[in-house]
Amino acid sequence: MPVDKASDEDRHQASAANVEKMWRFVERYAAKSGTYLHPQREITEFLVIGLAKHIDEVGRPLCPCNFYPDIHKEAKSSVWSCPCEEMQRFKYCH
């Protein structure tokens, strides 16, 4: 099932600089590590926006697919910072 494309409103949730930074990181990491990004680029874009938003908010690219009761506490941990442990283990990003 196709996913809606990210809108300008979605993209403005995070700074343009961090969105660009996370695109570079995600693409380079996937190429170097053999990790697979989602086959629907729109989903990867939403993930990149979420990562960038977390950098803006807490200074770390926390996986946007998880709920964090205390996001600031979680930012001090490395478990869910991209690339999260699941991504490193399974070589697949959502």
- Residue of 63, 65, 82, 93 marked active site: 65
Q: Which domains does the chain have, with CATH numbers?
A: 8-90 (3.90.460.10)
Mean pLDDT confidence for 3-10: 83
| 65 is known as an active-site residue | yes
How does pLDDT run across 48-75, given as a tens digit for each residue?
999 999 999 999 999 998 899 999 999 9
**How far apart (Å, rounded) are the C-alpha atoms in residues 14 and 54?**
8
**How far apart (Å, rounded) are the C-alpha atoms in residues 67 and 15?**
21
User: What per-residue confidence (pLDDT) applies to 53?
Assistant: 96
Q: CB of 34 within 8 A of CB of 91?
A: yes
**How far apart (Å, rounded) are the C-alpha atoms in residues 36 and 59?**
25
Q: CB of 53 within 8 A of CB of 62?
A: no
Other CB atoms within 10 A of residue 59 CB: 11
User: What per-residue confidence (pLDDT) applies to 93?
Assistant: 83
